[in-house]
Each structure stands twice: as C-alpha cells, then as structure tokens.
Amino acid sequence: MKIAKSSLILGLALVLIAGMAFGYFIKPSAPSEDHLAMIKNKSIAEQREAWIGIADSIRGELAMEGKYDCCLDKPCWYCIQKTPGHGEGAECTCRQDILNGEHPCGECIGEILEGHGLAELKPFYAKAIAHKVGLQHEEHLQDMINDMYPEIQ
Ligand SMILES: [Zn+2]
C-alpha cells in the first residue's frame, strides 16, 4: 500500500515536470530564425506534424478565449491563414458568419457540403453558402444539405 502511494506521488511529480517542460517549450510566441530553420531541415512528414501541432495549439488557445468559433465537427484550418478575410489574426468566426446569413471560409463551405458541419446549424447552411455562390442557388443548396444531413429535420 505504501509503495503504491509513493509511486503514485512520483508519477504525479513526473507528469507535473513533463507538463512544465512542455509549457516551457511551446511558450515562445515568435519562433526564432533558428527554430524555423531547425523545423525546415526536417522531413516533410516531420514538418507536417510540427505544423499540425502548431495549428492545434493556435486553435486551442483561441477557442479558450472564444475566438475560434467554427461551424464544423472538426474546426477548420483555413481561418488561421485566411486572415483578416475570416476573423482577425488567425481567429475563426465561421459559426457566427453562418448564423448571420454570411458565408464561412472556403474550407468550411466544402466541408459543410461533404456533411461535416455541425448538425444544429443545418437550417442556416444553404442561405449562408448562397451568400457566396449566388442566391439563385439557395434552393439547390438546400436540397444538397438535406441529402447530407438527413437525420435532422
Ligand atoms: Zn472556417
């Protein structure tokens, strides 16, 4: 019993130290030239992994402040780059855009039509996408949305 308890404490301490180390390494807000050069020297697969990690961190931090508010099951990547076209400084406002009857980012338009949007936004999708591609397409878009999200009436 005593051993189990002390190993639990040791485990917690290790998790804490690892967490602090992780926090330390992801903290620098502007990566130095060296850091960028280091990543660029890696394989494409490793660069991809680093890029996804950074994008996840951007989305996570902004989401905590309510500034990454996407309309997809899995939040889009595009808004991080497409700024200020959608949100300011890597923010995402795609969900609110749709509620306002305005089109979301291009990635979200594609993903919504593939059925990867948030189900509760179904009533707003056709109008919001028609805002981009032409109001004359709204009815047809609604047919497509109905096919893609059949479970929600
Ligand atoms: Zn988006």
78-124 pLDDT per residue, tens: 999 987 877 678 999 999 999 999 999 999 999 999 999 999 999 99
Mean pLDDT of the chain: 86
> 11: exposed, middle or buried (C-beta count within 10 Å: 0-12, 13-18, 19+)?
exposed
Q: Ligand 1 centroid to 114 CA: how many Å?
A: 14
Distance of CA 152 from the midpoint of ligand 1 (Å): 22
**Per-residue pLDDT, 84:** 80
Amino acid at 37: A
Q: How far apart are alpha carbons 136 and 15 in whole angstroms?
A: 57
- For residue 147, report the distance from its CA to the centre of ligand 1, in Å: 21
